[in-house]
């Protein structure tokens, strides 16, 4: 390796360290910047971080300007050069595919002429691969120091992705109900506050809040026990999720109370969803061999000039109790 290449590697390591240290970049942005820097070092055109699931190669992050490949794209693993080294702890480099032992590999149909890659592990388990490739032979060929740099780079990326997974787990725990895996009270109020702020800046924006309370749920706990009650709540949550649109928010507010936030929903649309909820929850549930029949009362609040998210919840709550009192 020439002294110029050594200097370039050192500069790149400083660049990558700087990328990882930047607080203004999301983890996804950091990884894409690292791929861009890696393409610069290896003089390649495509940089990819893949996730391997069984026989599938899935692009998680990519830097490939001018190429028709994108994040989320999936390939058969055996048709990629990564299949050669995915189970190894050592990097693989191919400076000139046509002059290598891999000239008949299925991946040559993609027009790749050079490649360097290595598997990524997180906490000792294989996650995927890091690879750089191009549509022309590598000149000068890859050096041993390039392979060593790949080892360092994969270690860094494995740590970054592992840290990201920990953050995702912590964020999920902080925002989701542990029993039903729906949004929890905190996340509901935060979502509602975002909707309220949108309305305050754009009066044409509409949203509705539905407060759902199960009828006769206490009887289930008293007669069949809290374990059956918890299982029933899980089934209720699943039915509610099937009713909601992707853009809607559904969460467990507490106990047997659920809150739905419907964006861009008129009063009539909110009433329609409310009727669907009541219809879905009136159908019998089967839990641990027990046939359980419950129902639900639903209150509705439409966006207005309330001062905080809790005020809208209170309006929907009072509407729900008015409906419940009319039943019993």
Report the CATH number that the domain containing residue 101 is assigned in CATH: 3.30.450.40
Segment 207-228 shows an average pLDDT of: 94
What would the mean pLDDT of 205-227 be, rounded to a whole number? 93
* pLDDT tens track for 252-287: 999 999 999 998 888 899 999 999 999 999 999 999
Out of 150, 173, 196, a domain closes at 173
Q: State the total domains in the chain.
A: 2
Q: How far is CA 325 from the centre of its chain?
A: 41
CATH number at residue 268: 3.30.70.270
Cα torsion angle, 121, 122, 127, 132, sign: negative
Same domain flag for 50 and 157: yes
Does residue 289 share a domain with residue 208? yes
Q: Are residues 204 and 267 in the same domain?
A: yes
Q: Which pLDDT value is given to residue 166?
A: 66
Q: Which neighbouring-strand residues pair with 298?
A: 212
Return all residues near 303 (Cβ < 8 A) that are at least 6 apart: 195, 196, 199, 205, 206, 207, 208, 312
| pLDDT-derived band at 19, boundaries 50, 70, 90 | confident
Q: Return the closest-CA partner of residue 294 out of 321, 316, 327, 262.
A: 327
Domain boundary among 173, 205, 225: 173
192 shares its domain with 281: yes
For residues 138-164, give the mean pLDDT.
87
Say what the pLDDT of residue 306 is: 67
Q: Decide if 93 contacts 116 (C-beta within 8 A).
A: yes
Q: How high is the pLDDT of residue 9?
A: 66
The model's confidence at residue 173, banded by pLDDT at 50, 70 and 90, is: confident
Task: State if pTM tops 0.75.
Answer: no
Is 49 a domain residue? yes
For residue range 65-98, what is the model confidence (pLDDT) as tens digits?
999 999 999 999 999 989 988 888 899 999 999 9
Q: Is residue 102 part of a domain?
A: yes
180 lies in some domain:
no
**Domain boundary pick from 139, 173, 207:** 173
**Structural domain contains residue 37:** yes
Segments of 182-294 assigned E as strands: 207-215, 249-254, 257-263, 285-287, 290-292
Same domain membership, residue 192 and residue 167: no
- Boundaries of domain holding 257: 185-327
263 has which bridge partners?
207
Element (DSSP H or E) covering residue 151: helix 144-175
For residues 274 and 280, give the distance between their C-alpha atoms in angstroms, rounded to a whole number. Answer: 10
| pLDDT of res. 304 | 67
Q: Mark whether 100 and 234 lie in a shared domain.
A: no
Does 303 reside within a domain? yes
99 and 189 co-located in one domain = no
pLDDT score recorded for residue 109: 84
Q: Is residue 259 part of a domain?
A: yes
Q: What is the pLDDT of residue 46?
A: 96
In a domain, 146, yes or no: yes
Q: Quick one: pLDDT at residue 167?
A: 67
User: Do 283 and 319 have their domain in common?
Assistant: yes
Whether 43 and 142 map to the same domain: the answer is yes
If asked whether residues 203 and 234 sit together in one domain, one would say yes
Average confidence score pLDDT of the chain = 88
How far apart CA 255 and CA 307 sit, in angstroms, is 26
Query: Do 255 and 160 lie in a common domain?
Result: no
Using alpha carbons, select from 87, 102, 94, 160 the residue that is nearest to residue 132: 94
With respect to residue 179, please indicate whether it lies within any of the assigned structural domains.
no
Whether the per-residue pLDDT at 164 is higher than 90: the answer is no
122 and 258 share a domain? no
């Amino acid at each position: 390796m020439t002294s110029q290449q050594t200097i370039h590697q050192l500069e790149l390591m400083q660049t990558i360290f700087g990328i990882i240290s930047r607080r203004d970049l999301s983890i996804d942005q950091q990884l894409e910047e690292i791929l861009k820097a890696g393409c610069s070092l290896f003089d390649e055109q495509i940089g990819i971080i893949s996730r391997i699931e069984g026989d599938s190669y899935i692009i998680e992050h990519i830097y490939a300007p001018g190429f028709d490949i994108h994040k989320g794209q999936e390939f058969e693993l055996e048709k990629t050069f990564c299949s050669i080294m995915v189970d190894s702890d050592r990097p693989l480099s191919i400076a000139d595919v046509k002059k290598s032992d891999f000239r008949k590999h299925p991946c040559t149909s993609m027009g790749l002429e050079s490649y360097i890659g290595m598997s990524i592990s997180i906490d000792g388990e294989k996650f995927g691969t890091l690879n750089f490739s191009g549509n022309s032979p590598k000149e000068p060929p890859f050096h041993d120091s390039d392979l060593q740099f790949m080892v360092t780079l994969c270690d860094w990326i494995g740590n970054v992705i592992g840290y990201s997974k920990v953050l995702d787990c912590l964020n999920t725990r902080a925002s989701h109900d542990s029993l039903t895996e729906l949004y929890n009270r905190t996340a509901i109020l935060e979502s509602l506050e975002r909707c309220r702020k949108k309305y305050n800046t754009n009066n044409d924006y509409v949203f509705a809040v539905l407060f759902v309370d199960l009828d006769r749920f206490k009887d289930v706990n008293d007669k069949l026990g809290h374990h059956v009650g918890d299982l029933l709540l899980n089934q209720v949550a699943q039915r509610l999720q099937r009713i909601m649109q992707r853009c809607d928010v559904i969460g467990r507010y507490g106990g047997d109370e659920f809150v739905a936030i419907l964006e861009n929903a008129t009063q009539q649309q909110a009433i329609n969803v409310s009727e669907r909820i009541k219809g879905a929850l009136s159908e019998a549930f089967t839990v641990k061999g027990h046939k359980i029949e419950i129902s639900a009362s639903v209150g509705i609040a439409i966006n207005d000039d309330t001062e905080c998210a809790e005020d809208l919840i209170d309006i929907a709550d009072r509407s729900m109790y008015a409906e419940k009192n009319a039943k019993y």
